[in-house]
Amino acid sequence: MIEKHPFPHEFSWTNEVRAHELDAQGIVNNAHYFCYFDHVRTLQMQALGFDWVQLSHRGFNLVLAKASIDFLKSLSAFDAFSIVSRLEPEGRLKLIFNQTLFNNQREPVCRGINTVVCVDKSRGKPITIDKLLAELRHLKRPALLEIE
């Protein structure tokens, strides 16, 4: 039996701009793009079997260590959009989310690179991806395993 990381992993999500997300210019306020990307990261991790609440109860927190966005275009009220998120490990500690938000013409609106680490709450230090996956196996999250 060989256990492998579930990475790289691609995930997509679609939504529509809501009126309250607009600023005085009539476009989506920049802070909402961070919220969109955060929501997609959460959904993607859930799809992979990551249970944030259970991990926290076991003493581990998945935290955003770094976030950056390049803004290319704007969205307006009720524009449909989609986000494609690609998750890959970097080194032993980091999970990198490369995320692109597309408008309904499939043009990139913004691109984000977001780094997540898992922190041991008792030590206040990151743990390795392998230890994180071991914790998830303990929580019986089989979606994370490829067994040959």
Question: What one-character DSSP code corresponds to residue 19?
Answer: G
Q: Report DSSP letters for 116-145, one per residue.
A: EEEEETTTTEEE-HHHHHHHHHHTT-GGG-
Domain enclosing residue 52, as ranges: 9-141
pLDDT tens sequence across 91-133: 999 999 999 999 999 999 999 999 999 999 999 999 998 888 8
Q: Which of 83, 67, 64 is nearest to 17 (CA)?
A: 83
Write the CA distances from 97 to 41, 117, 145, integer angstroms: 7, 11, 20
Can you give the pLDDT at residue 133? 81
* Total number of domains constituting the chain: 1
Residue 130 structure tokens: 């392998």
Can you give the pLDDT at residue 28? 98
Domain assignment of residue 41, yes or no: yes
Domain assignment of residue 147, yes or no: no
Distance, CA of 143 to chain centre? 17
Residue with the larger pLDDT of the pair 119 and 134 = 119
pLDDT tens sequence across 47-102: 888 888 888 998 999 999 999 999 999 999 999 999 999 999 999 999 999 999 99
CATH number of the domain at 134, please. Answer: 3.10.129.10
